[in-house]
Amino acid sequence: MNVKENEHFIEDYTPCLQKEFETEDAAYEFYNVYGRVMGFSIRICYSTKSQKDGVLIGRKFVCSKQGTRGKDKRGPSSRTSSKGDEN
């Protein structure tokens, strides 16, 4: 990456609080590119949906090696079960 490209990258891919994106894919792409350039990969830590209409209003991306994944809060009805899973 030359100096001009580096300046462009820093301007376009500098994370900040309360950053807004047009789509979920745009947000993921932004942080995935940033992480790759900085030397790490990302994963979704959690997402928040509006209780009123179910629209996504927040999502937190973290380093893929940060902590442990949280427990799935969606409940058993949202997961597919196999024969050994039923209790």
Output the six-digit token pair for 8: 């462009």
Burial group, residue 31, by CB count within 10 angstroms (0-12, 13-18, 19+):
buried
pTM exceeds cut of 0.75: no
Of 70, 20, 19, the closest CA to residue 44 belongs to: 70
* 17-71 pLDDT, tens digit each: 888 888 889 989 988 988 888 889 988 888 899 999 988 888 888 888 877 666 7
